[in-house]
Structure 1
Amino acid sequence: MSGHFETIPGGGAAVALDEIEISIIRSLAVQLLELIGPGPAEGESEDPLAELFAEGPSEPPSDPVLKRLFPDAYGGPDGPPDTAKEAEEQRSSSAEFRRFTENDLRSRKRDDAVAVVRSLDALSPVGEEGAVLRLGPEESRQWLGALNDLRLAIGARLEVRDEDEADDLYRLPDSDSRKPMVMAYLWLGSLQETLVGTLSP
């Protein structure tokens, strides 16, 4: 089980993690929470209908990681638009879509990252042997979402745009300053892949 998720009876998944691995994942999840930002302030209306219609930002974020986590919804699949009018229509459609969806998306990503931190904090005391993390089906889905977001964030910092570029990361020399980030990116990808396997029917 060490290093990868396995299916457990009754649904869900389990993985053995050592103390360093737990610390790395927890630290990355906390950094992700800081990047995404806080949820609704205390004292604000808890009216679900009001929250449903609350408007979010209409402009894309400037940080490249947040751009990757919250991309524009509309864009030409075959490259940039042909005319200024098409570009303006895409920008307008993306802004409108973002205004009504980004708050919800941020909330979901925040909930996933919080679930990761809480499940790691709930582990039994960790010794040299490490600990076994056991997740129910819903926790597994939250972990999958958080692992995906963490890989997107690290990939943005590494300027990885597709899997071919990700393959090039394997060939980086140990002296490259990006190597620790690359190792985390590849390791999280392995965790993500094995977790997906536990959720498949």
Structure 2
Amino acid sequence: MKHWTREGDRVVAVLDRQEAAVLRGMVGQVKDMLMARGSEMPQDELSALTGIRTAPATPPDDPILGRLLPDFFRLDPDAPDPQEVDSAGALRSVHEPQLIDLKTGVAAVVLDTCPSQGGLVRLTLEQSESWLSALNDVRLALGTALDVTEDMPDELPVEDPRSAHLGVYHWLTFVQESLVEAMMSSLPEDGEPDRDA
């Protein structure tokens, strides 16, 4: 794939078949993980009556899901305050369902607009925002699985089992950064889109 480009109020790129398959596969996996977590939401009569959904008060055991659905404020891992633990659980219980909806929603936009066989991708700016969010989630998930750190080299030795996957991580970074650049390319100084572009 080459860089995304801006065409008026649209952002455009061409993905080859393999790129589309990788992107759709990874976005689909993240979406499935989030939906599985969503299926763990407690079902009770109060939820049915009020329509208010609640999530488990405890964070996910899976480190990837834990990265995608972090606590709403950071606890001291060495000496967590019991009151803060209760507050964190209450916040998670109330807000996690909406966060899952948001993340699965942006993933659905990518799956709806990314051609399965590759080809032209033409996004509105709203769809582009969804792509950015979904790409960020995929990068977080893959980065957690690969244990990516700031001091990790751009390339790993061939014998390292993470080597090929790190290339995918860097490619996703390029796709995301290129999309941001394209979205910003026609913004004048006042921040409003240039409708004549």
| TM-score relative to the length of structure 2 | 0.80
- What is the number of equivalent residue pairs in this alignment? 176
Counterpart of 2:136 (choices 125, 133, 148) is 148
C-alpha distance in structure 2 between counterparts of 1:95 and 1:73, whole Å: 9
Specify the alignment match of 2:70 in structure 1: 71
Specify the alignment match of 2:163 in structure 1: 179
Specify the alignment match of 1:194 in structure 2: 178
CA RMSD of aligned residues (A): 2.3
1:104 paired to 2:76: no
Counterpart of 1:24 (choices 22, 27, 34) is 22
Contact 2:155 2:166 in 1 (8 A): no
1:158 paired to 2:156: no
C-alpha distance in structure 2 between counterparts of 1:134 and 1:196, whole Å: 15
Specify the alignment match of 1:138 in structure 2: 126
- State, as a whole percentage, how many aligned pairs show the same letter: 31
The letter of the residue matching 2:180 is V
Specify the alignment match of 2:194 in structure 1: none
Cα gap change, 1:4 to 1:89, in 2 (>3 Å): farther
Pairwise CA distance, 1:3: 2.7
Show the 5 A alignment for 1:46-125: 50-51=50-51, 53-75=52-74, 80=77, 84=79, 87-121=81-115
C-alpha distance in structure 1 between counterparts of 2:125 and 2:50, whole Å: 30
C-alpha distance in structure 2 between counterparts of 1:109 and 1:197, whole Å: 22
| Alignment deviations for residues 120-156 of structure 1 (CA, whole Å, 9 cap, x no partner) | 24x7xx5xxx522110111111111100000000011
Q: Secondary structure at the match of 1:71?
A: coil
Pairwise CA distance, 1:65: 0.3
Cα gap change, 1:188 to 1:94, in 2 (>3 Å): same
Structure 1, gaps ≥5 residues long: 41-46
| TM-score relative to the length of structure 1 | 0.78
